[in-house]
A and B are shown apart, each in its own frame.
Chain A
Amino acid sequence: MIEATFPLLGTAFVVLIVLPTFALLAKAGLVMLERDEVGGPLHGLNLRYVLLTGSSVLPIAWLLSAGLHQAETAKSALACLLDHDTAELCFEPGFFALMLAVVVVASSIGVMRKHRGVRVSSTDAARTLLRRVARITSSDPVLASLRDRVVVTDDDGFALGTHGLLKPRVFVGTAFAARLSEEMLASALGHEAEHVRALDPLRYLILQLALAVNPFGRFLLEPHAVRWQAAREAHCDREAVILGAAPLPLADAIVRAARPGAREVVALGARDTAVLKFRIGMLLAFSERAPARCCHQGPSAFPVAFVLLLIALLLPHQTGTAALDALHTGAEHALTYFWR
């Protein structure tokens, strides 16, 4: 039996069977949550997010940790990988963990490439807009959190958005801002303030990475991810209004942001406007009756996700790695069976 059998077959088994199975289980949970009539589609966003991302991240974290744990032979995992004298003891699970890590990194490259930044401008128009934004944020206590967090771009195709993973910043397009009244811009900044507070660029990126590392399971989860993202945007609208943003100017700003610039029209594919209509309808409703804060939001996603990740990483060291042994022997038996 060659030593590469388990690392190669085991990784293929994880990608083809294990991760899609977890995706199927997560889908069952998501379907039940989305059918919950009590809360409505904007409720349970954090739990839905944990299911969407955890179904890929947690099994991979456990398998990586278990592989490295088996590779430990009183030496560091890296030393074990490089030291062929102890290869019989630890080469295979260590190499399996390495293979899995390579697959994760390779599938993440595409996502990271799409995650392009936005150019910050320092032209006269940009400085004028920054002064305008500073006036708005200094006069509104809720928007005070955005002080020094707003930057400006002269990119005509860019409207308004939040970038940056650990220290997100709000980017405002000069051309877009010129089409907005003060009230519209303040309301739109209120929407972005919620994205900044919740570290949404990081959330969105982790979600995309979680889907990317599960190529055969992502088709099960992608519709739920799209719905989650749409609901998340609507949630930010509602939070902005609860904190004082005017609903109709926000609705106006959203419609204006959805209009492509002249040079983008050809490049853009058809986008469904259903979500846009829903958000506008919701804001029209808020202009009649102020929204109340949703009471079933559950615990914040990041602490829960961190604790779950920690458990997945520590579990193999505490409770053993029997599942990895089963995967190991199963892969080798399968090869022996088909090789005959």
Chain B
Amino acid sequence: MDVVWGKHLSSFAVGDVLAILEKQRDIAYTTVMTTVTRLYEKGILERERDGKRYIYSPKLTRAEFMESTAREVLDEAVGGHQAMVMLAEKVSEASAGELDDLEAIIQKRREELDA
């Protein structure tokens, strides 16, 4: 979905997403197809048949998606309270990989906007 929202793809085929992702890393057509199909099954994408292939389009903007999933995400929130008001609570070493991923996503988004 990051590719779809980031590249502002209003309608696309699996091959379009594959072409973008292939520039970043090695990825199989079947992997992309499976992911796109799952997103459709979850109701995040809608699709129409176009001959032998499907044309997908996002049902929600990134903002709408965030709003719709926010409750679910906040429900997962655990942990205690801190007396101080911090910009962000520090996370454990185990989550360092997740922080790296978040930084990479932000960096990518900045590059897209700069481009």
A residues sitting closer than 8 Å to B (CB atoms) are: 34, 40-42, 111, 114-116, 118, 159-163, 188, 191-192, 195, 200-201, 204-205, 207-208, 211, 225-227, 229-231, 233-234, 248, 251-255, 257-260, 264-265, 268-282, 284-289, 291
CA A159 – CA B85 in complex, angstroms?
A: 11
Give the contacting residue for A272; candidates B5, B78, B103; CB below 8 A. Answer: B78
Interface residues of B, dominant DSSP: helix
- Which residues does chain A contribute within 8 Å of B82, judged by CB atoms? 204
- Which residues does chain A contribute within 8 Å of B83, judged by CB atoms? 111, 114-116, 201, 204-205, 208
Is there a chain A Cβ closer than 8 Å to B48's Cβ? no
- Given that A258-B99, A287-B113 are contacting pairs, would A265 and B87 also be in contact in the complex, using a CB cutoff of 8 Å? no
Contact B86 A160, beta carbon cutoff 8 Å: yes
> Which 6 residue pairs are nearest across A and B when measured between Cβ atoms?
A285-B63, A115-B83, A278-B73, A257-B88, A161-B86, A274-B76
- Given that A160-B87, A255-B88, A258-B99 are contacting pairs, would A225 and B79 also be in contact in the complex, using a CB cutoff of 8 Å? no
- Which residues does chain A contribute within 8 Å of B79, judged by CB atoms? 226, 271-272
CA A231 – CA B66 in complex, angstroms?
A: 13
Give the contacting residue for A230; candidates B61, B74, B96, B110; CB below 8 A. Answer: B74
Contact B92 A269, beta carbon cutoff 8 Å: yes
A-B contact list, 23 entries, CB within 8 Å: A114-B83, A118-B84, A160-B86, A161-B85, A207-B81, A226-B79, A226-B80, A227-B77, A229-B81, A230-B74, A248-B109, A252-B106, A257-B86, A265-B93, A269-B92, A278-B70, A278-B73, A279-B88, A282-B66, A284-B66, A285-B65, A288-B5, A291-B63
Contact A254 B92, beta carbon cutoff 8 Å: no
Is there a chain A Cβ closer than 8 Å to B39's Cβ? no
- Which residues does chain B contribute within 8 Å of A118, judged by CB atoms? 84
Number of B interface residues at 8 Å Cβ cutoff, please give it: 43
Contact A259 B62, beta carbon cutoff 8 Å: no
Q: How many A-B residue pairs have CB under 8 A?
A: 172
CA A257 – CA B82 in complex, angstroms?
A: 15
CB distance from A282 to the nearest CB of B (A): 5
- Which residues does chain B contribute within 8 Å of A40, judged by CB atoms? 67, 70-71
Is there a chain A Cβ closer than 8 Å to B50's Cβ? no
- Which residues does chain B contribute within 8 Å of A286, judged by CB atoms? 63
- Given that A225-B81, A288-B5 are contacting pairs, would A255 and B103 also be in contact in the complex, using a CB cutoff of 8 Å? yes
- Which residues does chain A contribute within 8 Å of B61, judged by CB atoms? 285, 288-289
Which residue of chain A has its CB nearest to the CB of B68? A40
Is there a chain A Cβ closer than 8 Å to B21's Cβ? no
CA A259 – CA B77 in complex, angstroms?
A: 18
CB distance from B61 to the nearest CB of A (A): 7
Contact A260 B113, beta carbon cutoff 8 Å: no
CA A192 – CA B84 in complex, angstroms?
A: 12
Within 8 A of A (CB), among B16-71: 61-63, 65-67, 69-71
Please name 15 further chain A to chain B contacts, defined as beta carbons within 8 Å, in addition to the given A255-B88, A258-B89, A258-B91, sorted by A numbering: A41-B74, A42-B70, A159-B87, A160-B87, A163-B84, A204-B82, A251-B102, A251-B106, A253-B87, A257-B86, A272-B76, A273-B95, A275-B74, A277-B102, A285-B62
